Structure 1
């Protein structure tokens, strides 16, 4: 494993990731502002949407429905392939480190990040120990038009000195499929969902391709059930989770916590099950 030179981090171990990584181009939507009530914003948006409904919610179905879902699953299979050797190696390292995390050991949780997963933080520490420039990233964006505000936490790894002499940013999301669970999903949608990687490791460019596919699949599924397509299922909202400006936490004050965090234990068990299945293939 090669050692990677860490990027400069500002005081307190935080760095606001700049527009060179996360600025939305040509979309006409600015996610750079901060929201102080993102959970309330989303709850209010959901309530209003369910009460008022949305235009364009007519029933949609045709003989091409299943073939359309099949095409989406095929596209996911293509995009799931590692784009380079670094991504392939990083994916294997992440899976191995997840298997190494013990349920009975103490799991440290950063006190500087609200609602962050203790598993994410443990994984960041393990990646650092393996020589990677890894950090916990916390993105946040405000309401814009019909899009609700929100926040999200994930891991990024910066690989320095790539083939072009610059740096490449890789995203790690340890509970990737959970972002795409929808109500009353048709069977074909669940097939597409299960074709996604349970743990995403890859570039932002490839991530956005998968998000576009899942937004299309969600629209197909909802329309088949004569259900409206809500704005929080759109590509723009999904994209905001990983592409909004974020704070990058490399060194954090942490408080040791026992393994009594049942939500962490449950997630860890699911992750190990997914990884074990992948290794058996």
Structure 2
């Protein structure tokens, strides 16, 4: 039933999430009324609705993740093989600023992945998404890898497969509820899937994040909102073909040679005792 609805014009996730968002919005407003009479029945009802919400979230997420085409499966296998190969050989970082290791080395890792997929025959590139500030969300940018697959008959539009190496970590939150953490735990560490699958998964998890924040009576940061998360992978990116990789022997860990200057020459001289 769930799969049939998701393949129709109106997806099951849209219908269910819309319904639960309305219910949660009303429950949140009602919860601010502290004049209640200790309603045990209402507490039971809320607990039942809460359990139903998370059960449905798990079901929707699992169905979305299980929908795999042959192209997605093939690209996932080759991407996993590329990651294993890079990790076993050691990442060759060609960044000029070796001190900025984390961000720079992520860029190098993405470049290596994209290049290895190109060597395997894929139309792969590094994607850089940038979006402007709006009243709802701040500006931002994000980098990932994609593969564009042409349709077999050439009549349909090309298929775009998104590759995010740290997908699960993008949704992890401090002080989250157990229910939310359980849902996020179902996400793959590395996401490889069509744009439509990414769209469904992001919508499901962001709805769960919104409920998690409400249950904890915490403000939801704008960088957690659906529109912000969606902009990372579903806005129109700048697509950059990676350049040639740096040979492993070209990068060493030797410290740079100190170049002497006439201005600092005396600092490197041995002190001489004056008699």
What is the TM-score with the length of structure 1 in the denominator? 0.65
Give unmatched runs, 5+ long, in structure 1.
1-55, 261-281
Contact 1:162–1:168 under 8 Å retained in 2: no
1:227 aligns with 2:218: yes
Larger RCO (alpha carbons 8 Å, 6+ apart):
1
Greater strand share, 1 or 2? 1
The change in CA–CA distance for 1:59 and 1:185 in structure 2 (over 3 A counts) is farther
What corresponds to 2:271 in structure 1?
none
In structure 2, how many angstroms separate the alpha carbons of the residues matched to 1:259 and 1:132? 33
Structure of higher CA gyration radius:
2
Greater helix share, 1 or 2? 2
Query: What is the correspondence of 1:29-108 to structure 2 with a 5 Å cutoff?
Result: 62-63=46-47, 64-102=49-87, 105-108=90-93
Q: Counterpart of 1:242 in 2: which secondary structure?
A: helix
1:159 aligns with 2:149: yes
Q: Counterpart of 1:102 in 2: which secondary structure?
A: helix
1:177 aligns with 2:162: no
- 1:118, distance to aligned residue in structure 2 (A): 2.1
Query: What is the correspondence of 1:128-139 to structure 2 with a 5 Å cutoff?
Result: 128-139=118-129
What corresponds to 2:159 in structure 1?
168
What corresponds to 2:138 in structure 1?
148
Contact 1:108–1:254 under 8 Å retained in 2: no
Q: Counterpart of 1:157 in 2: which secondary structure?
A: strand
1:209 aligns with 2:200: yes
The change in CA–CA distance for 1:191 and 1:259 in structure 2 (over 3 A counts) is farther
What corresponds to 1:195 in structure 2?
186
- 1:194, distance to aligned residue in structure 2 (A): 0.6
What is the TM-score with the length of structure 2 in the denominator? 0.66
- 1:225, distance to aligned residue in structure 2 (A): 1.0
The change in CA–CA distance for 1:131 and 1:82 in structure 2 (over 3 A counts) is farther
Give unmatched runs, 5+ long, in structure 2.
1-27, 33-42, 97-102, 255-275
The change in CA–CA distance for 1:254 and 1:104 in structure 2 (over 3 A counts) is closer
In structure 2, how many angstroms separate the alpha carbons of the residues matched to 1:175 and 1:117? 13
Q: Counterpart of 2:204 in 1: which secondary structure?
A: helix
Contact 2:112–2:245 under 8 Å retained in 1: no
The change in CA–CA distance for 1:197 and 1:105 in structure 2 (over 3 A counts) is closer
The change in CA–CA distance for 1:248 and 1:85 in structure 2 (over 3 A counts) is same
Contact 1:106–1:258 under 8 Å retained in 2: no
In structure 2, how many angstroms separate the alpha carbons of the residues matched to 1:208 and 1:242? 9
The change in CA–CA distance for 1:258 and 1:202 in structure 2 (over 3 A counts) is farther
